[in-house]
Amino acid sequence: QVHLVESGGGLVQPGGSLRLSCAASGTIFSINVMGWYRQAAGKQRELVAIITSGGMLNYAESVKDRFTISRDNAKNTVYLQMNSLKPEDTAVYYCNADIWATRASRVPLDYWGQGTQVTVSS
């Protein structure tokens, strides 16, 4: 089975920075897309950023030019560098990955981390 573990969340003042990490472990043959989503209190989960194994990127307009997603394929890890943080960035951030467990896997499966809280406040 696959397990995703996020780290790096916490409390930061407006204008500050945080770097989130998400490491995938377990039975993994290959990872296609990895990404970050967030869910603020009372709102639906939304895409923050995704990155494919080939380096294709997609960002939400609200974070473009402030956040940067990257990945280390050798470590099965995805990162999210968050700069110029705003109070509206406050949310639980979830790691997501599409993973083939083995060569014989019929389709890649979608996995989620447990979430890490990011709070931007003075």
Burial profile 81-98: b = 16 or more Cβ within 10 angstroms, e = fewer: ebeebeeebbbbbbbbbb
Cβ neighbours for 73, distance < 8 A, ≥ 6 positions apart: 31, 53
pLDDT along the chain (122 residues), means of 10: 94 98 94 96 97 95 97 95 98 96 88 97 94
Please tell me the predicted confidence (pLDDT) of residue 86: 98
Distances (CA, A) of 43 to 33, 65, 88: 24, 23, 12
